[in-house]
Structures are given as structure tokens and as C-alpha cells.
Amino acid sequence: MSLHYAIRNKLLPEVRKLVEGGSDVNDKDDSKRTPLTMCCLEDDEKWALGVARMLLQAGAKVGITDKNGRSPLTFCVLFKRVDLCELFLRAIDFDLNQEDILGNTALHYSSLVGNLQICSLILSATLRSNLSINPRNKIGQTPAGLALIKHTNECYQLYKQTPNIEFLSKIPDVILTRPWMREREFVDCPDLMRKDATMDVLEGTKVHRSRPHLNVHQFRRGSAVPRSRKQRCSKR
């Protein structure tokens, strides 16, 4: 019997027997997930917390990732396991800004999920470790930027109170306009309304490149490049 099977089926005596018998606590299943990751998938977090402590004491590593580059910490963020998140952050043995195949870190996922307690825990741990709080995923988004886009307001407010936070994408995919902000009810973001403000929307919209000499309202989805001043004058 494997540790994965015992944890999945909540067979605590078998889990203890396997751990004490020297089973590899960092063994991987077909999806490259470790027993610690299986704990994060268990609905009974109190039960999973006890098993996770047992595994950590036996040498389990939080930083081991699955085939998609996601660690047990990533999964406890995705499934909102607050107590497991606290435990893993105390036993940290890896870079908190470790990226998955999409370039997302645990802080990115905490912004997407929108759990304020988890987001605060990971942000605080990142600051204590002197790591960047503005890591960018493969499409240039920061955790704070994701909180803004996905309308996870509590996380957004937390980031807004954090010094040196960055909301904007480095990739000028969509020009941030006041109508765009109004549609999504972001009424408290005047600090983002700058001439060159750009960010991703993740909604499959046509890419418009930022052009500082053009009025943002000249752009429409699929519209042609605006005529030059000389062309406009020749029509008169």
C-alpha cells in the first residue's frame, strides 16, 4: 500500500505504519504529486493537518513540485487550506517565488483565489524572506495586478497598503481606460489612471499596443490604425 492511497482513503493507522516503517515521504504518484500534496486535497483539514505534521517530521519537503510545477503550498492556496498554509510556511524549504509552468507563484494564486488570510500570510512570508513581492508570470502579470483584474477586492486593498507594490503589466496588452474600469466597478483606482497605464484582461480581447501619442478612445476592438493628421486634413 502506498502513502498516497492511505492518505486518499483516510487510513490513519496505515499512514503512521508506512511513515514509521521508512516509506519515502517524498514519493510521487503518476501526476508527480507527493503525499503532502494529497493532504491539501483532503476536505477534512484538521485530519490532513495531523498527517502533514507527521510527514514533515519524517522529512517531507514542501518545495517538491508536480508535473505542472505546483508544490503542496500551491495546492493549499488553491483549496483555501489556511491551517496547512501556515504549517507549510513555518517549515519552508524552498523559494516562495517558485514558479509553475504558467510562471505563477503561490502569491499569484492567492490573488486569484481571493482568500485574504492566505494572501496576507504569503505576502508577509515573502517580505520576511526579502523576496520580490512583484514577481511576474509568463504574460507579465504581478500578484497585485491579478487581484485587480479578478476583482478580489480584499486582496487588492491589502496590496494597495503595501509599499513598492506594482499593479501594472509590463506587457502592454490592453489600454486601461475609464470605461473599462467602470464596467468592472473599480471606482477606487485613480492611482492607476495614467497616460501609459496598461494591463492584461485575460478575456481574449484583441491586443492593442500602447501608443502614447494617441488618444485611448481612438481604439476599438478590431479597428484600424487611426489616420494620421495629414490624412485627416486632406479630407477637408
Local mean pLDDT, 10-residue blocks, the chain (236 residues): 90 92 90 92 91 94 92 94 94 86 94 94 94 91 89 90 84 48 46 38 34 37 43 51
pTM recorded for the entire structure: 0.70
What b/e sequence results for 56-84 when a residue is b if at least 16 CB atoms lie within 10 Å of its CB, and e otherwise? Answer: bebebbbbbbbeeebbbbbbbbbbebeeb
Per-residue pLDDT at 179: 52
Domains of the chain by start residue, with CATH = 1-95 (1.25.40.20), 96-174 (1.25.40.20)
Angle (CA) 121-122-125 rounded to 5° is: 90
Per-residue pLDDT at 110: 95
Closest CA to 122 of 152, 89, 93, 90: 89
Per-residue pLDDT at 87: 95
DSSP state of 207: P
Per-residue pLDDT at 234: 53
Per-residue pLDDT at 111: 93
